[in-house]
């Protein structure tokens, strides 16, 4: 699983980093995104759904960081 550590990056940074990694990924590959940007809670799930990928989980791993697990579908 590839991990994108976008902690400390401000909107739309985490989403842009995720998009870059997904574009280079293989179908079926899982990506873990770490983000401390609260807007990611809204933006990442929306983009993942619109792009046709699968969001498996969103976990809060500490008081200011969330982990998104995404599978590349196309």
Q: What's the number of domains the chain is made of?
A: 1
- List the strands of the sheet with 65-71, edge to edge: 2-5, 30-35, 65-71, 54-62
Domain that includes residue 7, residue range:
2-71
Which residue numbers are catalytic? 11
Chain segment 7-56, per-residue pLDDT in tens = 999 999 999 999 999 999 999 999 999 999 999 999 999 999 999 999 99
Question: What is the CA angle 26-19-13, rounded to 5?
Answer: 150
pLDDT confidence of residue 74:
83
Find the CATH number of the domain harbouring 66.
Answer: 3.30.110.40
C-alpha 72/C-alpha 64 separation (Å) is: 26
């Amino acid at each position: 699983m590839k991990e994108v550590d976008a902690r400390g990056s401000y909107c739309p940074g985490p989403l842009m980093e995720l998009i870059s990694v997904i574009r280079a990924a293989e179908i079926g590959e899982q990506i873990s995104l770490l983000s401390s940007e609260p807007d990611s809670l809204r933006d990442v799930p929306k983009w993942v759904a619109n792009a046709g990928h699968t969001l498996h989980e969103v976990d809060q791993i500490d008081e200011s960081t969330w982990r998104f697990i995404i599978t590349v579908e196309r």
